[in-house]
Amino acid sequence: MTNLISVRGLRVTGRRADGGDVPIVRDVSLEARQGEVLALVGESGSGKTTIALALMGHARAGCGISGGEIEVAGHRVDRLDAAGLRAFRGRTISYVAQNAGSAFNPALTLHRQVIEPALTHWVLPRREAERRAVELFRAMALPHPETIGARYPHQLSGGQLQRLMAAMALITEPEVVVFDEPTTALDVTTQIEVLEAFRAVLAHRGITGVYVTHDLAVVAQVADRAVVLRHGAVCESDATAMVLERPRTAYARQLVEACHLPVRPARPAAAPADGAAAEPVLTVSDVIVGYGRVDARGLPARRILDGIDLSVPQGRILGIIGESGCGKSTLARTIAGLQPPAAGTLRFRGDILAGGVGHRTPEQRRRLQIVAQNADLVLNPAWTVGAILERVLEFFHGLRGVAARAEALRLLDLVHLPHALFDRRPMELSGGQKQRVNFARALAARPDLVLCDEITAALDPVVAAAILELMSELQATLGLSCVFITHDLHALRAVCDRVAVLLGGHVVEQCEAASLMDGAHHPYTQLLVSSVPEMRAGWLDEVAARRRATTPGPVPPAADGGCPFTPRCGLRVEGVCDRVPPPIINSPDGQRIACHLPPDELPVLPRT
Amino acid sequence: MSAVGAFLSRGGRHGAMFAARLAPGPRRALGLLAVWFVIAFAGPLLAPHAPGEIVDRDVFAGVSLHHWLGTDYLGRDLGSRLLWGVRYTVLICTLSTLLSCCCGIVLGIAATATSVWVERVLGRLMDGLLSIPSLLFALLVIAAAGESIPALILTMGVIYMPGSYRTSRALALRIARADYVTAALARGEGRAFVILREILPNMTGPLLSDIGLRFVYAVLLLSNLSFLGLGVQPPLVDLGSLVRENVLGLAYGAPAVVVPTLVLALLTVGINLALDGRRP
Ligand code: SF4
Sorting pLDDT into bands at 50, 70 and 90, what band is B75? confident
Average pLDDT over every residue of A275-286: 76
At residue A10, φ and ψ (nearest 5 deg) are -70, 135
> Looking at residues A264-289, what average pLDDT do you find?
70
Query: What are phi and psi for residue A182, nearest 5 degrees?
Result: -70, -20
CB atoms within 10 A of CB A47: 23
Partners of residue B185 in chain A, C-beta under 8 Å: 338, 357
Tens-place pLDDT, residues B32-43: 888 888 888 887
Is a pLDDT exceeding 60 seen at residue A159?
Answer: yes
**Beta strand A176-180 with A93-96: parallel, antiparallel or unpaired?**
parallel
Q: What is the pLDDT of residues B225-253, one digit of tens each?
A: 888 888 787 778 888 888 888 888 888 77
Pairing of strands A37-41, A225-230: parallel
Per-residue model confidence (pLDDT) at position B278: 46
Please state whether beta strands A449-453 and A317-321 pair in parallel, antiparallel, or not at all (unpaired): unpaired
List pLDDT tens digits, range A334-344.
998 888 888 88
Predicted pLDDT of residue B18: 56
Domains, chain B: 84-276 (1.10.3720.10)
Give me the residues of A, 310-339, that contact B with CB < 8 A: 336-338
Domain boundary assignment for chain A: 33-58+96-258, 282-516, 530-605
Reported as a pLDDT band with limits 50, 70 and 90, residue B81 is: confident
Indicate yes or no: CB of A365 within 8 angstroms of CB of B11: no
Q: What is the pLDDT of residue B8?
A: 41
Q: What are the tens digits of pLDDT across the range A472-481?
A: 888 888 888 9
More confident residue, A341 or A264: A341
- State what percent of residues in chain A have pLDDT above 90: 8
Percent of chain B with pLDDT over 90: 11
Supply the pLDDT for residue B103: 92
Rounded distance between C-alpha atoms, residue B7 and residue B257, angstroms: 43
Q: What's the pLDDT at B180?
A: 87
Instruction: Flag whether pLDDT at B90 surpasses 80.
Output: yes
pLDDT averaged over chain B? 81
Residue pLDDT, tens place only, A187-224 = 888 888 888 888 888 888 888 989 998 888 888 888 88
DSSP B21: H
Measured distance CA(B76)–CA(A196) in Å, rounded: 88
Find out whether A513 and A529 touch, Cβ atoms under 8 Å.
Answer: no
- Matching CATH number, A282-516, of 3.50.50.60, 3.40.50.300, 3.60.20.10, 3.90.1520.10: 3.40.50.300
What pLDDT was estimated at residue A320? Answer: 93
What is the pLDDT, as a whole number, of residue A408? Answer: 92
Q: Give tens-digit pLDDT for A385-442.
A: 999 999 999 999 888 888 899 999 999 998 999 998 899 888 888 888 898 999 899 9
Q: Phi, psi at residue A196, to the nearest 5°? A: -65, -45
Average pLDDT over residues B89-105: 92
DSSP state of A565: T
Q: Which CATH superfamily, name and number, covers A33-58+96-258?
A: P-loop containing nucleotide triphosphate hydrolases (3.40.50.300)
Same fold, A33-58+96-258 and A282-516: yes
**For residue A19, which residues of chain B lie inside 8 Å, CB to CB?**
none
What is the mean pLDDT of the segment spanning A491-497? 87
Give the Å distance between the CA of A308 and the centre of ligand 1.
18
Asked which of A39-43, A359-363, B57-61, B234-238 is least confident by mean pLDDT, the reply is: B57-61
ipTM for the complex shown = 0.73
Is A537 near chain B, with CB under 8 Å?
no
Q: Please choose, from the candidates B274, B280, B221, the residue with its C-alpha nearest in 3D space to the C-alpha of residue B97.
A: B221
* pLDDT tens figures, A501-515: 998 888 999 988 888
- Which pTM value belongs to this model? 0.78
What number is the average pLDDT over the span A104-119? 87
**How confident is the model over A15-19, as a mean pLDDT?**
71
What is B197-246 written as a DSSP string? IIIGGGTHHHHHHHHHHHHHHHHHHHHHHHHTT-SSPTTS--HHHHHHHT
CB A74 within 8 A of CB A52: no
Exposure b/e, A236-251, CB count within 10 A at least 16 = b: bbbebeebbeebeeeb
Instruction: Please check whether residue A455 touches B, CB under 8 A.
Output: no
At A368, which amino acid appears?
L
Relative to the CA of A596, which ligand 1 atom is closest? 1
Q: Which of B9, B187, B189 sits opposite A382 (nearest CB)?
A: B9
The percent of residues in chain A predicted with pLDDT above 70, rounded, is 95
Residue A441 C-alpha, separation from nearest chain B C-alpha, in angstroms: 10
- ∠ CA B87-B92-B93, nearest 5°, is 105
Could you say which DSSP state residue A557 is in? P
Q: From atom 7 of ligand 1, which residue's Cα is the shortest distance away?
A: A572
CA distance A320 to chain B (A): 21
List the one residue out of B36, B10, B38, B7 whose CA is nearest residue B212: B36
Per-residue pLDDT tens over the stretch A533-575 = 887 777 888 888 877 776 665 665 555 677 888 888 878 887 7
- Does the pLDDT at position B95 exceed 90? yes
Ligand 1 binding pocket (C-beta < 6 A) is: A 522-523, 563, 565-566, 569, 571-573, 577, 582, 595-597
B187:A395 CB<8 A:
yes
pLDDT of B257 over the 50 cut: yes
Cα A553 to Cα A26: distance, rounded to the nearest angstrom: 53
C-alpha–C-alpha distance, residues B54 and B162, integer Å: 43
Residues in chain A closer than 8 A to B178 (CB atoms): 377, 380
pLDDT exceeds cutoff 90 at B99: yes
* Secondary structure string (H, E, C) spanning A219-273: HHHHCCEEEEEECCEEEEEEEHHHHHHCCCCHHHHHHHHHHCCCCCCCCCCCCCC
Asked whether B103 and B161 are in contact (CB, 8 A), the reply is yes
Q: What is the pLDDT of residues A304-347, one digit of tens each?
A: 888 888 888 888 899 999 888 788 888 988 998 888 888 888 99
Ligand 1 centroid from CA B46, angstroms: 90
Does residue A357 sit at the B interface (CB-CB below 8 Å)?
Answer: yes
What is the distance in A from the centroid of ligand 1 to the CA of A597?
A: 7
Averaged pLDDT of chain A: 84
